[in-house]
A and B are shown apart, each in its own frame.
Chain A
Amino acid sequence: MYSDKVMEHFKNPKNMGEMENPDAVAKVGNPACGDLMRVYIKVGEKDGEKYLEDISFKTFGCAAAIATSSVTTELVKGKTLEEAIKLTRDEVAEELGGLPKVKMHCSNLAASGLHRAIYEYKKQTDMEISPELEKKYKASEAALEKTEEKMDKK
């Protein structure tokens, strides 16, 4: 079902765990399956540009959700915020050697968590937020609400 790379990231996730004194934290959820993820980022500055100095995650989810969280942190660590915002779910899945069709939404969760964390950072530091990022944030907000509503259902 899963590629060797997915299993490797699942068994030995990179950048896993809560970060001490992060610059921003974001929580995202997937209403399709109830997965929840928290992304922590620390932002640095190099040549006048903000970049992801450190990133970590915590995920409640299946093997695909954990693997996509792990690989996403690896893909964007050290990149500028603007570069990181451009990361797509297809790139996440591709990096893992593909995902089963039914699990493709997991790659969206990881990318969405990253985008949301960057949004939170930009908002806190009064940086300009592009309409594209604003749109992504609103979509993730609605998805999180639906997920929490679904998971609280008795």
Chain B
Amino acid sequence: MKMSTKESDIIYVDNNATTPIDPDVYQEMKPYFKERYGNPNSLHAKGRESKQAVKIAREKVASLLNTETDEIVFTSCATESNNHAIKGIINKTKNNGKHIITTKTEHKSILNPLKYLEKHGYEVTYLDVDNKGYVDPEDLKNAIKKDTALVTIHYANNEIGTIQPIEKLAEITPNEIPFHTDAAQIPGKIEIDVKSLEIDLMTINGHKMYGPKGIGALWINKKTKITPLLHGGGQENNKRSGTENVPYIVGFGKAAEKASKTVKKESKKLTDMHTKILEEIPKKIDGAQVNGPIQNRLPGNANISFQGVEGEALVLRLEDKGIMASTGSACASETLDPSHVLIETGVPVELAHSSLRISVGRFNKKQDVDKIIEIVPEEVDRLRTISAV
């Protein structure tokens, strides 16, 4: 489809799918494509130059999480980090534990590896969530068994913005059971201190915090035993072999550095923006339903269903007006099924098909929010005039 608008006219509000790269991040990465091309594992000056850049980036990412540098393993993305956390842990405990606990509203990069493991003899408990997407800590407590090998519960939901009570959930999980959280949506929006959370593994990635796509990290607590996902030359402290992706790691480091500095200010700005969207749009449209919690929501996330309007059609109408939003998780856009997250929170199928996700980010302005509040009701009305519902 042709883009009908100039880049400067576009209102990009799909930041939970990916963020635009920050100009400072881009500048920092550039030399590592051409001039500073050494393999960080080479002994010569070019190699040492790259090795130093990776070291500095690792320090910045570790600082973002308030942890040690040797607990950061660079991966290619959040999906790899999630796969590594799950498969790496169960491989270490396969003789003892065959049981894993998660929630029904995780990202597909958690649910699908678990489905795979179920086919190979593992048992998975999928915890229910309430109508706002929260897990009940009592349910987790009751689900823990003698052979539980891993608990993996996401920090914040990418579709409806529910922030789980991770501290409490980790606290009630016995120390001997590793606790992993997929925190891909968190950096730059909520301050992270892994040391205060009593968790063992955390997934983050670059492209949700204005860094490049194709780079992620898995934080692994020193005491946690894990099998490498990739075996080879022993890079990443023997946990993830393969020549380091230096330019992307450098970019990730810069993005983490900026996220650490701006998190408080951006968290407030994004919260103010999503609050205005969630308050104003339902006032203008009958039959609009806010999905997810109102309070304590992932900063920047708004998710609303509009009776009688199909989500994809609305997203494409908005695109025509220069607004780039989403109909739910971008990863699920090739399927016909409505969002599993909305269904699990009790949203009827028709309304689940009618959802719009607006995720504002660092580069959005107040005027963008005003325009969204003006345009969305107009386009919903237009689609309702041709709707058969």
Contacts and interface: CB of A to CB of B under 8 A. Distances in A.
A60 B389 contact: yes
Interface stretch (B220-228, B257-265, B309-317): B309-317
Interface in B325-382: 334-336, 338, 346, 348-350, 353
Contact of B313 (A4, A62, A152, A154): A62
Interface of A is mostly: mixed
Interface residues of A, number: 32
Give chain B's interface residue range (CB within 8 Å of chain A).
20 to 34
B2 interface: yes
B308 interface: yes
A7 B319 CA distance: 11
A38 interface: yes
A61 B387 CA distance: 8
A75 interface: no
B45 interface: no
Interface in A1-34: 1-2, 4, 7, 10-11, 13, 16-17, 27, 32-34
A2 B308 CA distance: 23
B316 A65 contact: no
A102 interface: yes
18 contacts: A4-B1, A11-B317, A11-B320, A17-B385, A33-B336, A34-B349, A35-B310, A38-B388, A57-B388, A58-B387, A60-B387, A62-B310, A65-B310, A66-B386, A102-B335, A151-B348, A152-B349, A153-B349
Interface of A: 1-2, 4, 7, 10-11, 13, 16-17, 27, 32-38, 57-63, 65-66, 102, 150-154
The 7 closest A-B pairs by CB, nearest first: A62-B312, A33-B336, A60-B389, A58-B388, A36-B388, A60-B387, A38-B388
